[in-house]
Homo-oligomer: A and B are copies of this chain.
Amino acid sequence: MAEENTVFIGKKPTMNYVLAVVTQFNSGSNDVIIKARGRAISRAVDVAEIVRHRFIHNAVVKDIKIETETLTGEGGRSANVSSIEIYMSK
């Protein structure tokens, strides 16, 4: 799946990301991946749920993967952060 079908969830309002996912589906994509790390994970779940309940009623959550990513800071210290990938299809 191409990188352009992926929506990264950050700190903006939830509806911004809902709009991004809906736009992907409406511009011809049959698959969209929603990715998030750390505290944005809750928002990623909100986005998937709002998209399929309110906007794209034939969209389903096909798969969900969780992982641990290791981020290395400037000082060379590393921190582990959880991430989620939600695979949606219509």
| B-binding residues in A (CB < 8 A) | 38-42, 45-46, 48-49, 53, 61, 64-68, 80, 82, 84, 86
Contact = CB atoms under 8 A, between A and B. Distances in A.
Contacts of A61: 66
A86 B67 CA distance: 13
* Chain multiplicity (copies): 2
B39 A82 contact: no
A45 B82 contact: yes
Contacts of A49: 66-68, 80, 82
Given A39-B42, A42-B41, A86 B66 contact: yes
A83 B19 CA distance: 21
A67 B53 CA distance: 10
